[in-house]
């Protein structure tokens, strides 16, 4: 029986040859990977905390409007007042000075204390009606950008996480079936996935989304986008899974399991697919950022989530006016959120010692 | 080799045919049609019927599709319902705009990304760490964000025009280039970072090979080893992704066009999809898939020339 050598072993032997042109590394390769992993994990953990803790962490609901504070700048918590005395954390309220240009000035004479753990929020100002705590400023409807950012994480990141899970599942099943059965099914499935891989994914998503009913409820949009993303992302997963299953199928443990009487389903589900789990995790971390960006792009052009819903793409769509972005730069904060999430996952994939390709599903 | 080229050509033709057909059929199957979207849901039935008859929307899908196919083979792609002019002209203009943007971005990304990758793959030290960190940051900033940020900077400083392709008045090449800088940069940055990372990996793999050590021992200058011998051997992975990059550029240019209102294929297709302008959607899809087919074809052929094993 032919025994295939694991790909990693041959890689290792190549790398151990002298790196002729290179001076010694400034510090250990391992240390650098570890550093990346720590930063990536920390950033991603922050995002997950934001997703899970949004109702507690956000000072306001995602649609609470403060009509007197349209496009108000962020309120910065302070501990020292103008006289130089220390206080418990407080904010200065904004006062509208020019309604037409929406200019605000701080009212330096009154301090509004911050209260902790009151009315279900971690922190909020003691006088919400007059001087709400707006860590990220307000958008053109007078909604707190920071709170919307947190609720938007639930929509955008939640969608990406679920869709990537769906894509991994679908891809594993398709790839597993193709690799295990082989023959005509394998040929057909791989031809189709070859084809889908060449297409620019955002156009496929766009076309699929645009030909479905344009006006849907939020839940329907969420489900629909998750399904579309999963279908478009699955071929990327399927190819790799197929290759792994094909080579694993030859190995002794599979032959042993088969000779012990394991059926096809058991062989595939209990023995072969678990061998692809490492690959699936990596694919998942590649797909999540791609889906976050895809949601942002779709919502930006108006085919994603409808208006009152807080999603990162929808927030960018609301701010898609150059003048507004110049005058009220805090409206760009969803862009920062997207960047940090993508960076976090990139750091995680880059921190793997087996060095992955940099090509991206979308 | 000839057989390989023929096989790739067939694949390319199949790609264009399937994508444009799928676009036409999907748009036709979508709920709501052009007549209803323009006349409104409460339009009188006979007016709706009349409009549908005018656009051929009252015929069965198979018949309409067959008719379109016959005409498309004669390079007649029908008439746009929204604009009332032949699809071919509209699509050609938009495709040219997208091609200008994407080609500029591709060239810029190659010119920046490849040399940086060679440097960071063949050296060590703080410069390399810097390049690596920057490219990881750029890699994490998709074109949608890059173009938004650049747009805000342009509006703040007034250095570059904010969006659009031409200023009012007589058009000139200089004016076009002036408008091109921002979208092309936004589109090129992530691709340049990807090239840098790929090339760096390939370089550092090649540089570790025994034959490089042998060349060094024979006294070949370091720069010649790096920029001539090692680079030639390390070019393969980058060429291999060129075909995929065309797809990535089209995806990226969709976002960039939306943000900077560049009148390209993405904008045209988006509007056509929303208006259910069946023929225009199919025309845009055909043009886009033609780009893709061309890109994969060129990259496959380049790969076959660099590495004869590829086509076996």
Q: Half-sphere exposure (CA, 13 Å, Cβ side) for A16?
A: 6
> pLDDT per residue over A202-235, tens digit each?
888 888 888 788 778 888 889 999 999 999 899 8
**Could you give the angle at the alpha carbon of B231 between the alpha carbons of B226 and B234, nearest 5°?**
125
Provide the shortest C-alpha distance from residue B184 to chain A (in Å).
18
Kindly report each contact of residues B124-129 with a partner whose C-beta sits within 8 Å and lies 24 or more positions away, as own/partner.
B124/A22, B124/A23, B124/A24, B124/A25, B124/A26, B125/A23, B125/A26, B126/A26, B129/A26
The answer to whether residues A207 and B284 touch, using CB atoms and an 8 Å cutoff, is no
Tokens standing for residue B213: 């050590």
The answer to whether residues A171 and A287 touch, using CB atoms and an 8 Å cutoff, is no
A interface test, pick of B125, B128, B142 with most A CB neighbours within 10 Å: B142
Q: Which of A20, A322, A329 minimises the CB distance to B216? A: A20
Question: What ipTM, to 2 d.p.?
Answer: 0.85
Q: What is the spatial distance between Cα B40 and Cα B60, in angstroms, rounded to a whole number?
A: 22
Provide the shortest C-alpha distance from residue A275 to chain B (in Å).
27
Total residues belonging to chain B? 312
> pLDDT per residue over A43-72, tens digit each?
999 999 988 988 888 888 888 888 878 888
Q: Which of B126, B250, B273 minimises the CB distance to A210? A: B273
Residue A106, beta-bridge partner list = A94
Q: What are phi and psi of A87, to 5 degrees?
A: -140, 170
> By CB neighbour count within 10 A (0-12 exposed, 13-18 middle, 19+ buried), where does A146 fall?
buried
Per residue of chain B (312 residues), give pLDDT as tens. 778 888 888 888 888 888 888 888 888 887 777 777 777 777 777 777 777 777 777 777 777 788 788 877 777 777 777 777 888 888 888 889 999 999 999 999 999 999 999 988 888 778 888 888 898 899 888 888 998 888 888 888 877 777 676 666 666 777 778 888 889 999 999 999 989 988 888 888 888 888 888 888 898 888 888 888 888 888 887 887 777 788 888 888 888 988 888 888 888 888 888 888 888 888 888 888 888 888 888 877 877 777 766 655
The answer to whether residues A29 and B129 touch, using CB atoms and an 8 Å cutoff, is no
* Cβ contacts of B78 within 8 Å, gap of 6 or more: B68, B71, B86, B87, B279, B282, B283
Q: Which of A26, A323, A338 minimises the CB distance to B125? A: A26
Q: What is the rounded average pLDDT of the residues A243-268?
A: 87
Tokens standing for residue B264: 């390209």
Residue of B nearest to A22 (CA): B123
**Could you give the angle at the alpha carbon of B258 between the alpha carbons of B78 and B181, nearest 5°?**
110
Contact B124 A25 (CB under 8 A): yes
Contact B139 A346 (CB under 8 A): yes
Give me the total of CB pairs closer than 8 Å, taking one residue from chain A and one from chain B: 168
pLDDT score for A24: 54
Query: Which residues from B are below 8 Å from A12, CB to CB?
Result: none
Contact B251 A346 (CB under 8 A): no
Total residues belonging to chain A? 362
Residue of A nearest to B274 (CA): A210
- Per DSSP, chain B holds a count of helices (H) and strands (E) of 14, 0
* Cβ contacts of A155 within 8 Å, gap of 6 or more: A222, A305, A309, A310, A311, A312, A314
B98 and chain A: CB distance < 8 Å anywhere? no
DSSP secondary structure of A44-103: HHHHHHHHHHHHHH-SS-TT-B-GGGTTPPPPPPEEE-TTS-EEEEEEPPEEEEETTTTE
* Cβ contacts of A152 within 8 Å, gap of 6 or more: A62, A310, A311, A312, A314, A315, A334, A337
pLDDT higher than 60, residue A13: no
Q: What is the spatial distance between Cα B172 and Cα B154, in angstroms, rounded to a whole number?
A: 21
| Closest by CA position to B195, among listed B157, B237, B229, B160 | B237
Tokens standing for residue B17: 């045919």
Q: What is the spatial distance between Cα A31 and Cα A37, in angstroms, rounded to a whole number?
A: 10
Q: What is the spatial distance between Cα A353 and Cα B228, in angstroms, rounded to a whole number?
A: 29
A191 and chain B: CB distance < 8 Å anywhere? no
Residues 74-93 of B with CB under 8 A from A: none
């Amino acid at each position: 029986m032919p025994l295939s050598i694991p790909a990693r072993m041959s890689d290792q032997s190549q790398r151990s040859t002298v790196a002729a042109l290179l001076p010694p590394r400034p510090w250990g390769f391992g240390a650098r990977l570890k550093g990346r992993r720590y930063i990536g994990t920390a950033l991603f953990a922050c995002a997950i905390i934001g997703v899970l803790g949004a109702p507690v962490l956000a000072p306001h609901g995602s649609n609470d409007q403060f009509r007197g504070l349209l496009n108000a700048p962020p309120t910065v918590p302070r501990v020292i007042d103008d006289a130089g005395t220390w206080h418990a954390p407080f904010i200065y309220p904004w006062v509208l000075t020019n309604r037409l240009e929406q200019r605000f000035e701080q009212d330096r004479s009154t301090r509004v204390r911050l209260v902790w753990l009151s009315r279900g929020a971690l922190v909020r100002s003691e006088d919400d009606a007059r001087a709400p705590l707006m860590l990220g400023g307000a958008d053109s409807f007078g909604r707190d950008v920071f709170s919307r950012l947190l609720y938007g994480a639930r929509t955008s990141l939640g969608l990406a996480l679920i869709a990537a899970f769906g894509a991994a599942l679908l891809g594993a099943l398709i790839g597993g079936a193709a690799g295990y059965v082989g023959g005509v099914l394998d040929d057909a499935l791989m031809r189709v996935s070859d084809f889908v891989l060449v297409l620019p994914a955002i156009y496929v998503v766009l076309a699929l989304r645009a030909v479905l009913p344009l006006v849907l409820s939020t839940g329907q949009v969420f489900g629909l986008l998750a399904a579309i993303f999963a279908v478009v992302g699955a071929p990327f997963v399927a190819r790799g899974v197929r290759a792994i299953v094909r080579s694993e199928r030859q190995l002794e443990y599979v032959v042993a399991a088969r000779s012990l009487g394991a059926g096809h389903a058991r062989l595939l589900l209990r023995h072969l697919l678990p061998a692809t789990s490492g690959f699936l995790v990596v694919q998942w971390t590649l797909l999540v950022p791609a889906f976050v960006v895809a949601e942002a792009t779709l919502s930006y052009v108006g085919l994603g989530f409808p208006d009152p819903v807080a999603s990162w793409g929808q927030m960018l769509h609301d701010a898609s006016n150059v003048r507004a972005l110049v005058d009220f730069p805090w409206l760009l904060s969803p862009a920062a959120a997207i960047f940090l999430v993508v960076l976090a996952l990139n750091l995680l994939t880059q921190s793997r010692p087996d060095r992955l390709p940099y090509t991206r599903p979308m | 080799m000839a057989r390989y080229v023929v096989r790739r050509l067939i694949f390319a033709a199949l790609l264009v045919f399937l994508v444009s057909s799928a676009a036409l059929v999907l748009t036709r199957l979508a709920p709501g049609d052009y007549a209803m979207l323009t006349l409104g849901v409460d339009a009188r039935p006979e007016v709706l019927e009349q409009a549908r008859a005018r656009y051929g929307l009252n015929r069965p899908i198979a018949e309409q599709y067959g008719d379109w196919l016959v005409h498309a083979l004669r390079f007649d792609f029908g008439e746009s319902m929204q604009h009332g002019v032949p699809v071919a002209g509209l699509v050609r203009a938009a495709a040219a705009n997208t091609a200008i943007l994407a080609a500029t971005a591709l060239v810029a990304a190659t010119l920046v990304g490849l040399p940086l990758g060679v440097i960071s793959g063949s050296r060590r030290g703080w410069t390399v760490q810097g390049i690596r960190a920057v490219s990881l940051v750029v890699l994490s900033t998709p074109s949608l964000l890059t173009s938004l940020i650049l747009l805000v900077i342009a509006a703040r400083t007034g250095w570059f025009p904010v969006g659009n392709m031409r200023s009012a008045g007589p058009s000139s090449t200089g004016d076009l280039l002036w408008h091109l800088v921002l979208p092309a940069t936004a589109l090129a940055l992530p691709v340049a970072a990807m090239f840098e990372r790929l090339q760096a990996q390939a370089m550092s793999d090649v540089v570790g090979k025994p034959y490089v050590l042998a060349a060094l021992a024979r006294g070949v200058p370091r720069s010649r080893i790096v920029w001539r011998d090692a680079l030639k051997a390390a070019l393969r992975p980058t060429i291999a992704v060129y075909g995929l990059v065309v797809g990535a550029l089209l995806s990226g240019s969709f976002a960039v066009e939306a943000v900077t209102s560049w009148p390209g294929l993405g904008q045209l297709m988006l509007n056509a999809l929303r208006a259910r302008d069946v023929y225009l959607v199919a025309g845009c899809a055909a043009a886009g898939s033609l780009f893709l087919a061309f890109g994969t074809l060129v990259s496959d052929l380049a790969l076959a020339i660099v590495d004869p094993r590829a086509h076996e």
